[in-house]
Amino acid sequence: MPAGVMIPARNMPSMITGNGSVSGYGTSSGLTLGQIMFQQPNNVMEGQLHPLEMTQNASESEIARMRDEEFDSTNKSGSENHELGGSGDDQDPRPNKKKRYHRHTQHQIQEMEAFFKECPHPDDKQRKELGRELGLEPLQVKFWFQNKRTQMKTQHERHENTQLRTENEKLRADNMRYREALSTASCPNCGGPTAVGQMSFDEHHLRLENSRLREEIDRISAIAAKYVGKPVVNFPLLSSPAPPRPFDFGSQPVTEEMYGVGDLLRSISAPSEADKPMIIELAVAAMEELVRMAQVGEPLWMTSLDGTTCMLNEEEYIRTFPSGIGPKPTGFKCEASKETTVVIMNHINLVEILMDVNQWSTLFSGIVSKASTLDVLSTGVAGNYNGALQVMTAEFQVLSPLVPTRESYYVRYCKQHAEGTWAVVDVSLDTIRPSPTVRCRRRPSGCLIQEMPNGYSKVTWVEHVEVDDGGVHNLYKQLVSSGHAFGARRWVSTLDRQCERLASLMASNIPTGDVGVITNQDGRKSMLKLAERMVISFCGGVSASTAHTWTTLSGTGADDVRVMTRKSVDDPGRPPGIVLSAATSFWLPVSPKRVFDFLRDEHSRSEWDILSNGGAVQEMAHIANGRDPGNCVSLLRVNSANSSQSNMLILQESCTDPTASFVIYAPVDIVAMNVVLNGGDPDYVALLPSGFAILPDGMTVTDVGMADSGGSSGSLLTVAFQILVDSVPTAKLSLGSVATVNNLIACTVERIKASLSCDNA
């Protein structure tokens, strides 16, 4: 670099060190990447170049002084003109002197203009050479260039001022337009005027709202009691806490607080007073339709060719229920299915779970990505949920970033039809409050629950939706269109498996002879609660929810790897910092059962788990969760050759049913797990879950692909990782970290394909 030249630091490239490679499992509760270190270059450089017009050396100053004296003498004698500028209009500031003018010739001006374009700051040598060619003194050349630079600067500032003045006028006009709009704004709920900056939840408004709610509850309760035929009772305030539920084991609810609700669902508010009578009438009609659809068979329901599913006869449905919620929207497809099963849960407890949004969304965490209750029109009568009415929003998911979630705004109504027989129905409220963004409409859907001996319940589930599924990836088109992704069989299979899980939690006759079985009741409860939170966190970070923004990585060797980041701050259940979630979905030409057995087996884990570094994996403890041996929670230990990783543990839950299977795991700290196994609070154990979601491809209908490995059915496998890339939540995500996680996904996919003998898949 030539002496006397300095490049500003902001133009120097950052010096990046560190390769961002994955170091494998550690003792921390989550997967972490090596830190990417940034070093800025030294800004201290010798020979800084100063602008020529700012500082002149001593010799030039002396020459200027001498020539000023010479020019003064010539002015007195009248033999010479003093040059002050290109225009010749500037006045000599010294008094008592006769002002003389000297204009440059056209040739001189043109030559200096041309030189100015090439070099606006000539040095001494250049000024002398130019002056000799044009017959001018170097000082005259110097003054001309100074004036020219000042003139150019003034023109530039004048142009900038004009632009800023125009922009200012535009902003002032926008401001006036916004002020006018705010002055005429009205409340979307009541239609009244709004006051800008006014507190909406101050004490005065709360008291007025409280009084209004008391009157509203009494009126709605009287209406609900008329429909259910029960006497009117006084109900508590809507803000009072709900009574404790027998099957609420401290589950972490799948709510908007955990995942962050999307703008669309957040924009939906509670229904207005004028809407509530129509909502009640709609709910009563929907309940009647659901019960009839659950009890009748042909010709309304037709059995599929393989005899495994019930299909709705749409023409018969229109004839049977001509009123309904209106015709099917243009471009929407109908998905309707019915399924019956017997579950190990008391019918009263089942009703209570369905009517509690937190317990319901937790029970179906693989299907419900988030849910909330907007308003409670009735809490029921006689101390139970008979006649309960709730206005809700929910988002339904498939565990893959390739299938958009389905948002729904609906009312849920519960009614007891006979002794031991209950029904819970959902129906969309789009007819009352239409929205152009709605892509899914729920016609009367829900379940009929009948009491069975020994604490069992018979559940008949009806799922009837109209949906625009144009955003579904081609890989999942067949699964979604066949009804297996969101249909009734998916709901009852999940319900059956979760009821077995809850029953295993309550079991007290645990055999003590089996090695590794956790018999401590408090330890079992804490470990299952921790595993449940792990599964919920995994499910909430995989789907294409409105609360998530996925970025697709292309040309990286993996099939459509999607990544997104989250910032974890003050969350005791997740390590602080920036968490990178990466997921990909692909097809395998083997049955879901074979894929599930391979991934959950600790003996084959080293074949695909890169982060175990080839170490042997051993099961230390487990809790059985149902009849299928694949439904269990395990505590695994990686016996790594690296002594620093010898105490690393993995918490894993594997679960399977006829419609879906999951293998979800997270590294856990051994000290924290000892506290959990002794019955301690698991909410403060930090987890970053990773794992697999295994679904049938929808191409076959015989047991939805859960046949033996010799069958022709294929699998849709989603691989997802959550990795802590920086422990500082405000840090910037580096491209090296993204590339490292992307390579981790790609290598895992290739290993799974190779191990399952489908390299060419």
Residue 408 and residue 417: Cα distance in Å, rounded?
A: 26
Confidence grade of residue 193 (pLDDT, cut at 50, 70, 90)? low
Confidence grade of residue 380 (pLDDT, cut at 50, 70, 90)? confident
Whether a cis peptide bond, with omega within 30° of 0, leads into 299 is yes
Q: For the chain, percent helix, then strand, then coil, each to nearest 5?
A: 35, 20, 40
Confidence grade of residue 396 (pLDDT, cut at 50, 70, 90)? very high
DSSP for 529-587, please give it.
Answer: HHHHHHHHHHHHTTSB-TT---EEE-SSSSSSEEEEEEEE-S-TTS-SEEEEEEEEEEE
The confidence score (pLDDT) of residue 414 equals: 94
108-168 CATH choice from 1.10.10.60, 1.10.3720.10, 2.40.50.660, 3.40.190.10: 1.10.10.60
Q: How many CB atoms lie within 10 A of CB 341?
A: 17
CA dihedral 79, 84, 88, 92 (to 10 degrees): -80
DSSP-based three-state secondary structure for 651: strand
Which numeric CATH code is attached to 275-506?
3.30.530.20
521-700+712-759 CATH choice from 3.40.50.10330, 3.40.30.10, 3.30.420.40, 3.30.530.20: 3.30.530.20
DSSP-based three-state secondary structure for 743: helix
Alpha helices in 14-120 (DSSP H): 58-77, 106-118
Residue 313 and residue 332: Cα distance in Å, rounded?
A: 17
What are the φ and ψ backbone dihedral angles of 376, each rounded to 5 degrees? -115, 105
Nearest Cα neighbor of 441 from 408, 469, 472 is 408
Say how many residues make up the chain: 761
The confidence score (pLDDT) of residue 743 equals: 85
Q: Is the pLDDT of residue 38 over 50?
A: no
Confidence grade of residue 552 (pLDDT, cut at 50, 70, 90)? low
Mean pLDDT of the chain: 74
Beta strands of 452-515 (E only): which ranges? 457-467
Q: Is the pLDDT of residue 410 over 50?
A: yes
Judge whether 275-506 and 521-700+712-759 match in fold. Answer: yes
pLDDT digits (tens, 9 = 90+) for 422-474: 999 999 988 777 666 778 889 999 999 999 998 899 999 999 998 888 888 88
Mean pLDDT is lowest, of 81-95, 335-349, 619-633, 715-729, for 81-95
Average of per-residue pLDDT across 495-501: 92
Residue ranges per structural domain of the chain: 108-168, 275-506, 521-700+712-759
Q: Are 362 and 369 in contact (CB under 8 A)?
A: no
Q: Which two tokens stand for residue 477?
A: 């088109």
Amino acid at site 112: M
Residue 496 and residue 456: Cα distance in Å, rounded?
A: 11
The confidence score (pLDDT) of residue 717 equals: 93
Q: Is the pLDDT of residue 495 over 90?
A: yes
Confidence grade of residue 683 (pLDDT, cut at 50, 70, 90)? confident
